[in-house]
Structure 1
């Protein structure tokens, strides 16, 4: 276990599994029912009862109960990670505000900011993750950050940034997709809003699109909940049900993925002729000290940089236990060459997401696929 804390001392994961079960009446189903109704029986005045499917859904409520327990903060679910990101940004920014975002973070966040927020009069400023604090945070209404960065795996000090932004009068939003609340806890470090794509490790089975936000500030939660209701950016009942089921095995899957990633990274770093490797759990990595300080695990993502695009593609496409795919965090180990999406990385850069395969089988398959 990396970092100074055990995840179990932070979140009671056993209680999370039984949140629904503790309130069941005799004869009730243990598995969460899937409710897809758009209308509810509503005689008389609403009086706080469920009224309409754009604002109310029992399946969401149980999912958000679990998410809130995991984040130890109020959580709201969304139909994708980008829907959660959009809610956080549009609910906190107005014309004339300045937004600071990472230049090396998830590229769709940058595109959303450039193509839509800038048209509404929001000034967008970008800085690289490794030098994010240079220049300070005065004058920024919102500071959006992502650590480790996707795909480069650079890191920034969450607690230091959160404190500096708060002192400057701004709001912080942290994308915690790559680490999940079991690997890193931004809210505990002073961040105002956490966003995540639950399409990735939280769901874990590559069969849903979902996202969530969490915050301990009631004013921000209310603003983002209103955004969801008024914009119609609501999750479907089926994906919400799938995410609830996936989260019941998150602890087991995340532990296996992170443990395997650490083993693979250590072996690859010692392998003569292996491609250039980045993994925050290696003592020689530039992010290692900070990862030890603020993370509970070092994660399941690593990067391999091959000499050429052809070698990178050959590795991805010939490894029997790697699926070529553009997402990550699933039970299947997956990889992709990120330059194809325009990320500022070498042509031979590969993001590798370690799955739950037996680590020795995975190691052998990786070795077989590495170029001579």
Structure 2
């Protein structure tokens, strides 16, 4: 498998470019106006277009992705930019029917009304029927919330051969866990609200691509639409990225331990985690990821017990979203995902794993 980015080098990207007396911590540029006498060429002009905090953040993200990056005010802002910059009236796009539901809403309620043909396929049958005639193929592997996986390299090759482009949502694994560009994907999007920021205190997203033409369109979309991140959020994300490596390592290692223990507990009817040898996603995950991730799911006996488990465990936050330092869980059926009513998506945080398991086990035992 390809090598992850050098996180140690990432921590010193700013430091190695500092002049004597410069602050080591990234300053926050909180300004909509810039001192601009004379011709503006080559200088910051206006807060919707330029911000030094974004510049430094995007430098770090580009290092992580090994590709140029642009930031957006949310994950859906990033997904919207990638789609609106690559489709037009008459385009055909393919999206996963079992992926993040808001991506489907965007395509169904807005893109389809602009003359874009939208088709859906489940992740496990995503390649069935091929990709001829699709201009854009949007992939999500692992799928959210089911954690099904697909061979991204094979999809990217087939889509390119058919004349289309691929967009991969890599939110669940981050650049430290999966490298879509090294597998041939054209565009990567991510909700940095999740593990990249890691502290559940910001909304952010990014788009990356090694295609200069695509990035020009993405930048134009951001500039004219005004879909820009706030400087303070950009500063928070930059700070969060400095601990991404240690957080991600702890979360993934703990998720493996917990998944194996959940399998052995009598109250748990099913466990999904790509790192389990008998999981349907294991073979693909083993081949194309560097880590198995921090998300897992368990299915309990019924909805009542699932809610009781989530709401009574003192080391679980009953909340939507994932990727924070606090472990969290929710029943995804409540949002309309096509899953069992007792299906619980669990995001493993940074708590010591034995202490976390004791709390989880006690809640399961009390059901």
The normalised TM-score by structure 2 is: 0.99
Match of 2:294 in 1: 300
Secondary structure of the residue that 1:238 maps to in structure 2? helix
Maintained 8 Å contact 2:92/2:134: yes
Q: In the aligned structure 1, how far is the partner of 2:28 from the partner of 2:156?
A: 38
2:317 to 316, 319, 323: 323
Superposition pairs of residues 154-303 of structure 1, within 5 angstroms: 154-303=148-297
1:135 to 129, 137, 160: 129
1:145 corresponds to 2:145: no
Once the 2 structures are TM-superposed, how far is the Cα of residue 173 of structure 1 from its aligned partner?
Answer: 0.2
Secondary structure of the residue that 2:285 maps to in structure 1? helix
1:21 corresponds to 2:33: no
Q: In the aligned structure 2, how far is the partner of 1:14 from the partner of 1:362?
A: 28
2:355 to 357, 361, 364: 361
Secondary structure of the residue that 1:296 maps to in structure 2? coil
Once the 2 structures are TM-superposed, how far is the Cα of residue 109 of structure 1 from its aligned partner?
Answer: 0.3
Match of 2:67 in 1: 73
1:82 corresponds to 2:76: yes
Once the 2 structures are TM-superposed, how far is the Cα of residue 102 of structure 1 from its aligned partner?
Answer: 0.1
Q: In the aligned structure 1, how far is the partner of 2:337 from the partner of 2:261?
A: 27
Deviations 1:99-120 (A, max 9, x none): 1000000000000000000000
Match of 1:59 in 2: 53
1:339 corresponds to 2:333: yes
Moved over 3 A (4+): none
Q: In the aligned structure 1, how far is the partner of 2:196 from the partner of 2:279?
A: 26
Unaligned segments of structure 1, at least 5 residues: none
Secondary structure of the residue that 1:30 maps to in structure 2? coil
Maintained 8 Å contact 2:89/2:116: yes
Secondary structure of the residue that 1:357 maps to in structure 2? coil
Unaligned segments of structure 2, at least 5 residues: none
Kindly report the root-mean-square deviation, in angstroms, between the aligned alpha carbons of the 2 structures: 0.8
Once the 2 structures are TM-superposed, how far is the Cα of residue 286 of structure 1 from its aligned partner?
Answer: 0.3
Count of residues paired in the alignment: 366
1:45 corresponds to 2:39: yes
